[in-house]
Amino acid sequence: MTVKIATTRFGELEVPDEEIVDFPEGLPGFQGRRYVQVRTTGNDLVTWIQSMDESDVALLTVDPTALIKDYRSALKLIEAQPIKLEEADQLEVRAIVRDAPLDGAYLLNLFAPILLNTSKRLGMQLPLVGSGYSLREPWPPSAPAAASPETTPTRAPVASPEVPTEHTTSK
pLDDT, tens digit (0-9, with 9 covering 90-100), for 42-78: 788 899 999 999 999 999 999 999 999 899 888 888 8
Give the lowest-confidence range in 4-18, 22-36, 79-93, 138-152. 138-152
Flag whether pLDDT at 139 surpasses 90.
no
Compute the mean pLDDT over every residue in the chain, rounded to the nearest whole number.
Answer: 83
Domain positions in the chain: 2-139
The per-residue pLDDT for 105 is 81
pLDDT, tens digit (0-9, with 9 covering 90-100), for 109-137: 999 999 999 999 999 999 999 999 999 99
Cβ atoms 142, 131 nearer than 8 A: no
The per-residue pLDDT for 149 is 35
Amino acid at 97: V
Say yes or no: domain 2-139 is CATH 3.40.50.300: no
**% of residues, the chain, pLDDT over 90:** 60
User: How many DSSP H helices and E strands does the chain contain?
Assistant: 1, 10
The helix or strand, by DSSP H or E, that contains position 64, with its residue range, turns out to be helix 64-67
Burial 95-117 (b: 16+ CB within 10 A, else e): bbbeebeeeebbbbbbbbbbbbb
The per-residue pLDDT for 153 is 30
Can you give the pTM of this predicted structure?
0.80
**Is 18 strand, coil or helix?**
helix
Q: Is 23 exposed, middle or buried (0-12, 13-18, 19+ CB in 10 A)?
A: buried
Q: How far is CA 128 from CA 59, 74, 75, 92, 142, in A?
A: 19, 7, 7, 16, 23
Residue 159: band (very low, low, confident or very high) from pLDDT cuts 50, 70, 90: very low
CA torsion sign, 139 to 141 to 143 to 149? positive
Name residue 169's beta-bridge partners: none
